[in-house]
Amino acid sequence: MSNAVRFTVFKGAIPSQFAEWIPAELRSLSGEQLPSTVLALGAYHLGVPAGLAAAVLSGYGTPTARLLGVAVAPSLRRQGVGSKLIAELERRLRTIGITFLSAEYLEDLSLRSEQADFLLVCGFAEPQAGIHAATGPLSLAKKLPWVGSLVLPRSFSIQPFHTLTPEERELLRSGEDNWYPSILNPLAGESGIDAQRSLVVRRKDQLAGWLTVEAFSQDTLLFKTMFVREEHQRLGRGVALLAEMLRRAAGDSSYREGIFFVEADNAPMLTFLERHVYPLGLRREILWKTVKSI
Protein backbone atom coordinates (compact mmCIF):
# COMPACT_ATOMS: atom_id res chain seq x y z
CA MET A 1 0.00 0.00 0.00
CA SER A 2 2.73 2.49 0.95
CA ASN A 3 4.34 2.44 -2.48
CA ALA A 4 0.96 2.92 -4.14
CA VAL A 5 0.12 6.16 -2.25
CA ARG A 6 1.45 9.50 -3.46
CA PHE A 7 0.92 12.95 -1.95
CA THR A 8 0.47 16.38 -3.51
CA VAL A 9 0.31 19.80 -1.87
CA PHE A 10 -2.42 21.95 -3.39
CA LYS A 11 -1.02 25.45 -3.75
CA GLY A 12 -4.04 26.87 -5.56
CA ALA A 13 -7.59 25.60 -5.32
CA ILE A 14 -8.37 22.08 -4.10
CA PRO A 15 -9.24 20.01 -7.22
CA SER A 16 -12.91 19.19 -7.72
CA GLN A 17 -12.17 15.44 -7.41
CA PHE A 18 -11.48 16.08 -3.70
CA ALA A 19 -14.54 18.27 -3.11
CA GLU A 20 -16.41 15.75 -0.92
CA TRP A 21 -13.49 15.69 1.55
CA ILE A 22 -12.96 19.44 1.93
CA PRO A 23 -13.12 20.40 5.65
CA ALA A 24 -16.16 22.44 6.70
CA GLU A 25 -14.08 25.57 7.37
CA LEU A 26 -12.85 25.56 3.76
CA ARG A 27 -16.05 24.67 1.90
CA SER A 28 -16.89 28.30 1.21
CA LEU A 29 -13.59 28.42 -0.74
CA SER A 30 -14.38 25.41 -2.92
CA GLY A 31 -12.85 26.06 -6.33
CA GLU A 32 -11.09 29.20 -5.09
CA GLN A 33 -7.50 30.03 -4.18
CA LEU A 34 -6.55 28.73 -0.74
CA PRO A 35 -5.26 31.27 1.82
CA SER A 36 -1.51 31.25 2.32
CA THR A 37 -2.08 30.12 5.92
CA VAL A 38 -3.66 26.81 4.81
CA LEU A 39 -1.72 23.67 3.92
CA ALA A 40 -3.87 21.18 1.99
CA LEU A 41 -2.49 17.76 1.10
CA GLY A 42 -4.08 15.30 -1.28
CA ALA A 43 -3.43 11.55 -1.41
CA TYR A 44 -3.58 9.46 -4.59
CA HIS A 45 -3.75 5.67 -4.67
CA LEU A 46 -2.75 4.22 -8.03
CA GLY A 47 -3.39 7.66 -9.53
CA VAL A 48 -6.92 7.97 -8.11
CA PRO A 49 -7.86 10.52 -5.37
CA ALA A 50 -7.74 8.65 -2.06
CA GLY A 51 -7.95 11.27 0.69
CA LEU A 52 -7.33 14.79 1.87
CA ALA A 53 -5.80 16.44 4.95
CA ALA A 54 -5.58 20.15 5.73
CA ALA A 55 -4.18 22.36 8.47
CA VAL A 56 -4.18 26.09 9.14
CA LEU A 57 -1.23 27.98 10.62
CA SER A 58 -2.02 29.70 13.91
CA GLY A 59 -0.11 32.85 13.00
CA TYR A 60 1.15 35.54 15.38
CA GLY A 61 4.62 33.98 15.19
CA THR A 62 3.59 30.81 17.07
CA PRO A 63 4.98 27.46 15.81
CA THR A 64 1.55 25.82 15.90
CA ALA A 65 -0.91 24.62 13.26
CA ARG A 66 -4.45 23.30 13.69
CA LEU A 67 -5.71 20.24 11.86
CA LEU A 68 -8.79 21.22 9.86
CA GLY A 69 -9.68 17.71 8.84
CA VAL A 70 -8.55 14.41 7.38
CA ALA A 71 -10.69 12.17 5.16
CA VAL A 72 -10.06 8.93 3.28
CA ALA A 73 -12.03 7.19 0.52
CA PRO A 74 -14.31 4.52 2.09
CA SER A 75 -12.68 1.68 0.13
CA LEU A 76 -9.25 2.56 1.56
CA ARG A 77 -10.11 3.12 5.22
CA ARG A 78 -8.39 1.10 7.95
CA GLN A 79 -5.45 0.53 5.63
CA GLY A 80 -3.17 3.24 7.04
CA VAL A 81 -3.89 5.94 4.46
CA GLY A 82 -5.20 8.37 7.08
CA SER A 83 -2.18 8.01 9.36
CA LYS A 84 0.13 8.38 6.34
CA LEU A 85 -1.68 11.59 5.40
CA ILE A 86 -1.13 12.94 8.92
CA ALA A 87 2.53 11.92 8.89
CA GLU A 88 3.14 13.61 5.53
CA LEU A 89 1.25 16.72 6.66
CA GLU A 90 3.46 16.90 9.74
CA ARG A 91 6.60 16.50 7.64
CA ARG A 92 5.56 19.39 5.40
CA LEU A 93 4.67 21.54 8.43
CA ARG A 94 8.07 20.92 10.03
CA THR A 95 9.80 22.31 6.93
CA ILE A 96 8.16 25.69 7.59
CA GLY A 97 8.99 25.77 11.30
CA ILE A 98 5.82 24.30 12.81
CA THR A 99 6.50 22.16 15.89
CA PHE A 100 3.00 21.55 17.28
CA LEU A 101 -0.19 20.30 15.63
CA SER A 102 -3.52 20.66 17.43
CA ALA A 103 -6.87 19.09 16.61
CA GLU A 104 -10.48 19.73 17.60
CA TYR A 105 -13.62 17.74 16.88
CA LEU A 106 -17.27 17.67 17.95
CA GLU A 107 -18.44 14.44 19.53
CA ASP A 108 -21.01 13.31 22.07
CA LEU A 109 -20.27 13.18 25.80
CA SER A 110 -18.28 9.95 25.50
CA LEU A 111 -14.50 10.32 25.46
CA ARG A 112 -14.00 7.24 23.31
CA SER A 113 -14.85 7.60 19.62
CA GLU A 114 -13.41 6.70 16.23
CA GLN A 115 -12.01 10.21 15.91
CA ALA A 116 -10.32 10.00 19.31
CA ASP A 117 -8.90 6.56 18.58
CA PHE A 118 -7.54 7.71 15.21
CA LEU A 119 -5.82 10.75 16.72
CA LEU A 120 -4.34 8.67 19.52
CA VAL A 121 -2.92 6.23 16.96
CA CYS A 122 -1.37 9.23 15.19
CA GLY A 123 0.40 10.26 18.39
CA PHE A 124 -1.91 12.98 19.71
CA ALA A 125 -2.42 13.40 23.45
CA GLU A 126 -5.55 12.15 25.21
CA PRO A 127 -8.37 14.52 24.09
CA GLN A 128 -9.66 16.96 26.71
CA ALA A 129 -13.14 18.50 26.88
CA GLY A 130 -12.87 22.08 25.63
CA ILE A 131 -16.32 23.46 24.92
CA HIS A 132 -19.79 22.07 25.54
CA ALA A 133 -22.25 22.68 22.70
CA ALA A 134 -26.03 22.38 22.78
CA THR A 135 -28.50 22.74 19.92
CA GLY A 136 -32.29 22.79 19.84
CA PRO A 137 -35.42 24.54 18.57
CA LEU A 138 -35.70 28.12 19.80
CA SER A 139 -39.38 27.47 20.46
CA LEU A 140 -38.34 25.31 23.44
CA ALA A 141 -37.47 28.51 25.29
CA LYS A 142 -41.19 29.10 25.83
CA LYS A 143 -41.28 25.95 28.00
CA LEU A 144 -38.68 27.27 30.44
CA PRO A 145 -40.40 29.01 33.40
CA TRP A 146 -37.41 31.26 34.12
CA VAL A 147 -37.42 32.59 30.55
CA GLY A 148 -40.94 33.89 31.04
CA SER A 149 -40.40 35.29 34.52
CA LEU A 150 -36.87 36.68 34.83
CA VAL A 151 -36.41 40.36 33.95
CA LEU A 152 -33.74 42.90 34.75
CA PRO A 153 -34.52 45.60 37.34
CA ARG A 154 -35.67 48.99 36.07
CA SER A 155 -32.24 50.47 36.75
CA PHE A 156 -30.96 48.39 33.80
CA SER A 157 -31.61 49.08 30.13
CA ILE A 158 -31.14 46.82 27.10
CA GLN A 159 -30.29 48.10 23.60
CA PRO A 160 -28.99 46.60 20.35
CA PHE A 161 -25.24 46.07 20.10
CA HIS A 162 -24.92 48.75 17.41
CA THR A 163 -25.66 51.40 20.06
CA LEU A 164 -22.17 50.98 21.58
CA THR A 165 -20.57 54.39 21.83
CA PRO A 166 -16.93 55.16 20.95
CA GLU A 167 -16.26 55.59 24.68
CA GLU A 168 -17.73 52.16 25.43
CA ARG A 169 -15.66 50.58 22.68
CA GLU A 170 -12.52 52.05 24.20
CA LEU A 171 -13.63 50.74 27.61
CA LEU A 172 -13.94 47.25 26.11
CA ARG A 173 -10.55 47.44 24.45
CA SER A 174 -8.81 48.55 27.64
CA GLY A 175 -10.79 46.14 29.83
CA GLU A 176 -9.85 42.93 27.98
CA ASP A 177 -8.22 40.48 30.44
CA ASN A 178 -8.77 43.15 33.09
CA TRP A 179 -12.42 43.19 34.14
CA TYR A 180 -13.53 40.58 31.60
CA PRO A 181 -11.73 37.59 29.96
CA SER A 182 -10.45 37.96 26.40
CA ILE A 183 -12.41 34.89 25.25
CA LEU A 184 -15.61 36.91 25.83
CA ASN A 185 -14.46 40.00 23.93
CA PRO A 186 -17.56 41.14 22.00
CA LEU A 187 -15.43 43.11 19.53
CA ALA A 188 -13.52 40.02 18.37
CA GLY A 189 -15.00 38.91 15.07
CA GLU A 190 -17.42 41.81 15.24
CA SER A 191 -17.98 41.78 11.48
CA GLY A 192 -19.79 38.46 11.84
CA ILE A 193 -22.15 39.27 14.67
CA ASP A 194 -25.73 40.45 14.22
CA ALA A 195 -25.49 43.98 15.60
CA GLN A 196 -29.26 44.40 15.66
CA ARG A 197 -30.14 41.17 17.49
CA SER A 198 -27.08 41.23 19.79
CA LEU A 199 -27.65 43.11 23.03
CA VAL A 200 -25.78 45.40 25.40
CA VAL A 201 -27.03 46.02 28.92
CA ARG A 202 -26.38 49.22 30.85
CA ARG A 203 -27.02 50.21 34.44
CA LYS A 204 -27.49 53.90 35.03
CA ASP A 205 -25.94 54.55 31.60
CA GLN A 206 -22.82 52.52 32.44
CA LEU A 207 -21.96 49.44 30.35
CA ALA A 208 -22.80 46.39 32.48
CA GLY A 209 -22.68 43.49 30.01
CA TRP A 210 -23.56 42.07 26.62
CA LEU A 211 -24.86 39.04 24.76
CA THR A 212 -23.81 38.66 21.12
CA VAL A 213 -25.38 36.41 18.51
CA GLU A 214 -24.70 35.66 14.86
CA ALA A 215 -25.97 33.42 12.07
CA PHE A 216 -24.50 29.93 12.44
CA SER A 217 -26.37 28.65 9.40
CA GLN A 218 -29.41 29.71 7.40
CA ASP A 219 -31.88 28.72 10.14
CA THR A 220 -29.65 28.53 13.25
CA LEU A 221 -28.71 31.38 15.57
CA LEU A 222 -25.41 31.12 17.44
CA PHE A 223 -25.34 32.52 20.98
CA LYS A 224 -21.74 33.67 20.84
CA THR A 225 -20.60 35.57 23.94
CA MET A 226 -22.35 36.57 27.16
CA PHE A 227 -20.93 38.55 30.06
CA VAL A 228 -22.11 40.79 32.90
CA ARG A 229 -19.82 42.62 35.29
CA GLU A 230 -18.78 40.73 38.40
CA GLU A 231 -20.84 42.86 40.77
CA HIS A 232 -24.00 41.85 38.87
CA GLN A 233 -23.24 38.15 38.41
CA ARG A 234 -24.16 36.97 41.90
CA LEU A 235 -27.57 38.64 41.55
CA GLY A 236 -28.47 36.59 38.48
CA ARG A 237 -28.34 39.47 36.01
CA GLY A 238 -26.63 37.29 33.40
CA VAL A 239 -29.45 34.75 33.50
CA ALA A 240 -31.99 37.57 33.20
CA LEU A 241 -30.15 38.88 30.15
CA LEU A 242 -30.18 35.38 28.64
CA ALA A 243 -33.92 35.13 29.34
CA GLU A 244 -34.49 38.40 27.49
CA MET A 245 -32.53 37.14 24.47
CA LEU A 246 -34.39 33.81 24.45
CA ARG A 247 -37.77 35.57 24.54
CA ARG A 248 -36.77 37.65 21.54
CA ALA A 249 -35.26 34.69 19.66
CA ALA A 250 -38.30 32.47 20.27
CA GLY A 251 -40.49 35.11 18.63
CA ASP A 252 -38.12 35.68 15.70
CA SER A 253 -39.27 33.84 12.57
CA SER A 254 -35.86 34.26 10.89
CA TYR A 255 -34.31 31.41 12.88
CA ARG A 256 -35.68 28.02 13.87
CA GLU A 257 -32.80 26.62 15.93
CA GLY A 258 -30.28 27.95 18.41
CA ILE A 259 -26.81 26.76 19.34
CA PHE A 260 -24.59 27.85 22.18
CA PHE A 261 -21.14 26.98 23.48
CA VAL A 262 -19.90 26.94 27.08
CA GLU A 263 -16.26 26.50 28.12
CA ALA A 264 -15.65 23.27 30.05
CA ASP A 265 -14.17 25.22 32.97
CA ASN A 266 -17.27 27.43 33.36
CA ALA A 267 -18.69 25.25 36.14
CA PRO A 268 -21.50 27.62 37.27
CA MET A 269 -22.97 27.91 33.77
CA LEU A 270 -22.69 24.17 33.12
CA THR A 271 -24.49 23.48 36.39
CA PHE A 272 -27.24 25.94 35.46
CA LEU A 273 -27.68 24.29 32.08
CA GLU A 274 -27.82 20.81 33.63
CA ARG A 275 -30.58 21.89 35.98
CA HIS A 276 -32.62 24.31 33.92
CA VAL A 277 -32.01 23.79 30.17
CA TYR A 278 -30.75 20.32 29.24
CA PRO A 279 -33.84 18.50 30.64
CA LEU A 280 -35.74 19.80 27.60
CA GLY A 281 -33.79 17.31 25.47
CA LEU A 282 -31.31 19.50 23.60
CA ARG A 283 -28.74 17.83 21.38
CA ARG A 284 -25.47 17.90 23.29
CA GLU A 285 -21.89 17.61 22.05
CA ILE A 286 -18.42 18.46 23.29
CA LEU A 287 -15.63 20.12 21.34
CA TRP A 288 -12.73 17.85 22.25
CA LYS A 289 -9.20 19.24 21.97
CA THR A 290 -5.80 17.60 21.66
CA VAL A 291 -2.28 18.43 20.52
CA LYS A 292 0.99 16.73 19.65
CA SER A 293 4.61 17.71 19.16
CA ILE A 294 5.75 17.11 15.59
Dihedral over Cα of 140, 244, 263, 196: its sign: positive
Domains annotated on the chain, with CATH: 2-98 (3.40.630.30), 133-290 (3.40.630.30)
- The pLDDT tens digits for 38-85 are 999 999 998 899 999 999 998 777 899 999 999 999 999 999 999 999
Annotate 3-65 with three-state secondary structure.
Answer: HHEEEEEECCCCCHHHHHHCCHHHHHHCCCCCCCCEEEEEEEECCEEEEEEEEEECCCCCCEE
Q: Using CA atoms, how far apart are residues 77 and 25, in angstroms rounded to an integer?
A: 23
Q: What is the mean pLDDT of residues 229-236?
A: 92
The per-residue pLDDT for 3 is 66
Structure-model confidence comparison of residues 269 and 144, the more confident one: 144
Residue 1 scores a pLDDT above 60: no
Interval 185-200: pLDDT, tens: 999 889 889 999 999 9
Residue 114 — pLDDT band, cuts 50, 70, 90?
A: confident
pLDDT score of 250:
94
pLDDT tens digits, one per residue of 134-180: 999 999 999 999 999 999 999 999 999 999 999 999 999 999 999 99
Note the helical H segments in the chain: 81-94, 114-121, 145-149, 166-175, 230-233, 237-250, 267-276
Given a cut of 90, whether residue 2 has pLDDT beyond it is: no
